[in-house]
């Protein structure tokens, strides 16, 4: 018995507290995932029901994790970000809420909206009347969070009522316009990140930097209450994280945090939104544009949703085909896989796809690009690695991260700065203006002291060449995939025909053509890069490579999930003794 207790205590920390954040594009299945994790009696499918999703050794791996998860299942507590946005909304009057929601979509009738809010669930506003002090206390981050039983029970009661409110309010808004709920709550998120509350004219008011973390701090206060209520043993899922700084907030605070991206094929996702939610193609494009971080407001990179970046930051990627809307078997199977590993690290070994993508994820850190680091790996058809690459300048040149505006202006080092950069007056004036802006903003030298003020040559050059803005020809760097391909030419490659290309992004049009020409059978990617590589380059001809979205754990989670706490042999021996 002592040995069994010893073994259980070794794994106790993993099972005591698990925090999962979900991210993904609208319609990908984040809410479905949260509902599965929240279910007290989730049943995981047999491998025969997965349509060949797992093959080879992965079949045996799945059977092991399925058996473990079913025997150790504990449901998660779901914190829905939409519910907390509802809490912020419920601090407004009916008139204020109507004006704010109207500003999110001016194509609707203000009179109709007023009637719906006045006669609907919002007008009751019982939550803010009955629990006004508790709500204000929860949203006031300057006050200490009371962890007494009375406060905890009140907040949990509020959140249960808010969930019912959100569901009914969503239905009422969508009766006015099919995507009014999405656009209104997206706008509310922007307002909270900019001002720490919901305001009609938030975009014209001053940006309050600490507001970027206001929503995640509110979530964090709820997490603390739940942990206290459950005496520190808590499995919690956040549905869903849409801003990368919110993801970073939890990554920095909790070692037990895993950011999981739910990825559905675009065709499946858009069909789902059209058929079940009656969204038009224009409405889907509008939602995707907002979620990709686009927008013309100031501080948009801080305040706007950016699901693309959240997917890039994710620790675990789950593939969710939605060609059969009610069939969640493949989604459930992957959840069984990773919940088992969260509770018992090292229970199984990584898949071949995870092993190779982890290499690509690791080598991307060598990149000297100051915009985005990308890694790539080329393998044969059996996933044996033949070449690696990352986006960077040619061998012998100095990466962008190691050059500076000061050096460009004053050093004139011909080995670091090109003849064009040292002599073209238009380019130098543009670069000098950028340097002066840095100095003007930071006249005291407090912010940029000791920092290398590196710059992107392509950005400066394309800002001068208005007709060719974004032209990839002007970049100094080779793409990661291109670099990996060139290693094959430089050192020789064997057995590449029919091989695979792994990339932490996905290939652009130029690299897609090279992959096609090399005879790659598969291109495994994490998140699609904007462009027409798939529709124009890859899906044509008789030998086109198959595009496969990566599924699995990478980065910190790869080690946290697959490294054994103690060797399995020792664990079993302790249990036997």
Dihedral of the alpha carbons of 179, 331, 342, 291, in degrees to the nearest 10: -30
d(CA 237, CA 268) in angstroms, rounded, equals: 25
- Asked if 280 and 190 sit in the same domain, the reply is yes
- Asked if 437 and 502 sit in the same domain, the reply is no
User: Tokens 């003794």 appear where?
Assistant: 577
Q: Are strands 500-503 and 257-263 parallel, antiparallel or unpaired?
A: unpaired
Could you say which of 413, 445, 471 is where a domain stops? 471
Reduced to 3 states (helix: H, G, I; strand: E, B; else coil), residue 531 is: coil
Cut 0.85: pTM above it: yes
d(CA 533, CA 508) in angstroms, rounded, equals: 6
Which pair of structure tokens corresponds to residue 4? 């069994």
- Asked if 368 and 219 sit in the same domain, the reply is no
Long-range Cβ contacts of 407-414 (<8 Å, 24+ apart)? 408/455, 409/435
Per-residue model confidence (pLDDT) at position 196: 95
**Domain membership flag for residue 269:** yes
Contact 519, 380 (CB under 8 A): no
Domain of 427 in residue numbering reads as 400-471
**Domain membership flag for residue 576:** no
Q: Which residues pair with 375 in a beta bridge?
A: 390
**Domain membership flag for residue 17:** no
Could you say which of 471, 488, 513 is where a domain stops? 471
Reduced to 3 states (helix: H, G, I; strand: E, B; else coil), residue 259 is: strand
**Domain membership flag for residue 451:** yes
Could you say which of 471, 496, 527 is where a domain stops? 471
- Asked if 112 and 247 sit in the same domain, the reply is yes
Sign of CA dihedral 131, 132, 137, 140: positive
**Domain membership flag for residue 48:** no
- Asked if 489 and 555 sit in the same domain, the reply is yes
d(CA 305, CA 303) in angstroms, rounded, equals: 7
Contact 241, 81 (CB under 8 A): yes
- Asked if 276 and 165 sit in the same domain, the reply is yes
- Asked if 455 and 542 sit in the same domain, the reply is no
Domain CATH number, residue 498? 3.40.140.10
Condensed to tens digits (0 to 9), the pLDDT of residues 517-548 reads 888 999 999 876 555 556 656 666 667 888 88
Which pair of structure tokens corresponds to residue 230? 């459950």
- Asked if 296 and 437 sit in the same domain, the reply is no
- Asked if 213 and 105 sit in the same domain, the reply is yes
Per-residue model confidence (pLDDT) at position 472: 66
Judged by phi (left if over 0) then psi (alpha if -120 to 50, else beta), residue 492 lies in: left
Comparing CA positions, the residue from 180, 179, 178, 215 lying closest to residue 194 is 215
d(CA 266, CA 311) in angstroms, rounded, equals: 14
**Domain membership flag for residue 38:** no
Condensed to tens digits (0 to 9), the pLDDT of residues 469-504 reads 456 667 889 999 999 999 988 887 677 889 999 999
**Domain membership flag for residue 165:** yes
- Asked if 191 and 308 sit in the same domain, the reply is yes
* Number of residues written out for the chain: 577
Per-residue model confidence (pLDDT) at position 212: 94
- Asked if 379 and 426 sit in the same domain, the reply is no
- Asked if 427 and 543 sit in the same domain, the reply is no
CA 380 to chain centre: 30
Dihedral of the alpha carbons of 470, 473, 477, 481, in degrees to the nearest 10: 100
Q: How many domains does the chain have?
A: 3
Give 10-residue mean pLDDT values along the chain (577 residues). 58 79 95 96 94 95 97 95 94 92 88 91 69 82 83 86 93 91 93 95 91 95 90 89 95 94 91 86 85 67 87 94 89 98 96 98 95 94 94 94 94 94 94 89 76 91 70 81 91 81 87 87 80 60 81 95 89 79
Q: End-to-end CA distance of the chain: give it in Å, rounded.
A: 9
């Amino acid at each position: 018995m002592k040995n069994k207790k010893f073994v259980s205590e070794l794994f106790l920390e993993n099972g005591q507290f698990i925090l999962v954040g979900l991210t993904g594009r609208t319609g990908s299945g984040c809410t479905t995932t949260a509902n599965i994790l929240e279910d007290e009696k989730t049943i995981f499918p047999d491998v025969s029901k997965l349509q060949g999703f797992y093959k080879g050794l992965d079949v045996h791996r799945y059977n092991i994790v399925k058996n473990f998860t079913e025997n150790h299942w504990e449901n998660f507590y779901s914190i829905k970000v939409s519910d907390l946005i509802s809490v912020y909304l419920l601090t407004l009057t009916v008139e204020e809420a109507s004006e704010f929601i109207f500003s999110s979509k001016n194509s609707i009738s203000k009179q109709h909206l007023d009637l719906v809010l006045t006669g609907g669930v919002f007008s009751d506003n019982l939550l803010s009347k009955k629990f006004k002090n508790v709500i204000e206390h929860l949203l006031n981050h300057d006050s200490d969070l009371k962890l007494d039983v009375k406060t905890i029970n009140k907040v949990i009661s509020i959140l249960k009522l808010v969930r019912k409110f959100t569901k009914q309010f969503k239905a009422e808004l969508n009766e006015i316009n099919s995507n009014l709920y999405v656009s209104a709550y997206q706008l509310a998120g922007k307002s909270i990140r900019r001002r720490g509350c919901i305001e009609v004219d938030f975009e014209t008011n001053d940006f309050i930097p600490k507001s970027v973390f206001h929503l995640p701090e509110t979530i964090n206060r709820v997490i603390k209450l739940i942990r206290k209520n459950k005496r520190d043993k808590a499995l919690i899922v956040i549905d869903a994280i849409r801003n990368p700084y919110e993801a970073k907030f939890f990554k920095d605070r909790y070692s037990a945090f895993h950011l999981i991206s739910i990825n559905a094929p675009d065709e499946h996702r858009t069909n789902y939104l059209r058929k079940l939610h009656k969204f038009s193609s224009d409405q889907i494009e509008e939602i995707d544009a907002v979620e990709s971080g686009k927008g013309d407001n100031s501080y948009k990179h801080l305040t706007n949703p950016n699901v693309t970046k959240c997917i890039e930051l994710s620790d675990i990627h789950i593939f969710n085909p939605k060609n059969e809307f009610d069939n969640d078997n493949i989604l459930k199977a992957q959840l069984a896989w990773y919940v088992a590993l969260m509770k018992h690290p090292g229970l199984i070994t990584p898949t071949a796809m995870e092993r190779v993508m982890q290499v690509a994820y690791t080598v991307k850190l060598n990149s000297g690009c100051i915009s985005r680091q990308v890694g790539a790996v080329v393998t044969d058809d059996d996933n044996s690695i033949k070449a690696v690459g990352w986006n960077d300048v040619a061998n012998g040149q100095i990466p962008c991260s190691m050059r500076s505006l000061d050096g460009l202006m004053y050093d004139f080092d011909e080995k670091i700065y090109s003849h064009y950069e040292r002599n073209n007056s238009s380019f130098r004036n543009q670069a000098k203006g950028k340097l002066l802006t840095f100095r003007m903003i930071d006249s005291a030298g407090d912010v940029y002291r000791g920092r290398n003020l590196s710059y992107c040559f392509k950005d400066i050059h394309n800002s001068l060449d208005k007709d060719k803005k974004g032209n990839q020809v002007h970049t100094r760097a080779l793409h990661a995939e291109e670099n990996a391909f060139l290693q094959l030419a430089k050192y020789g490659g064997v057995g590449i025909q029919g091989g695979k290309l792994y990339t932490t992004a996905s290939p652009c049009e130029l690299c897609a053509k090279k992959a096609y020409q090399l005879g790659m059978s598969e291109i495994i990617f994490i998140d699609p890069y904007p462009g027409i590589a798939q529709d124009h380059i890859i899906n044509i001809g008789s030998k086109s490579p198959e595009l496969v979205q990566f599924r699995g754990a990478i980065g910190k989670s790869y080690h946290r999930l697959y490294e054994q706490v103690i060797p399995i042999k020792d664990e079993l021996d302790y249990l036997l003794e």
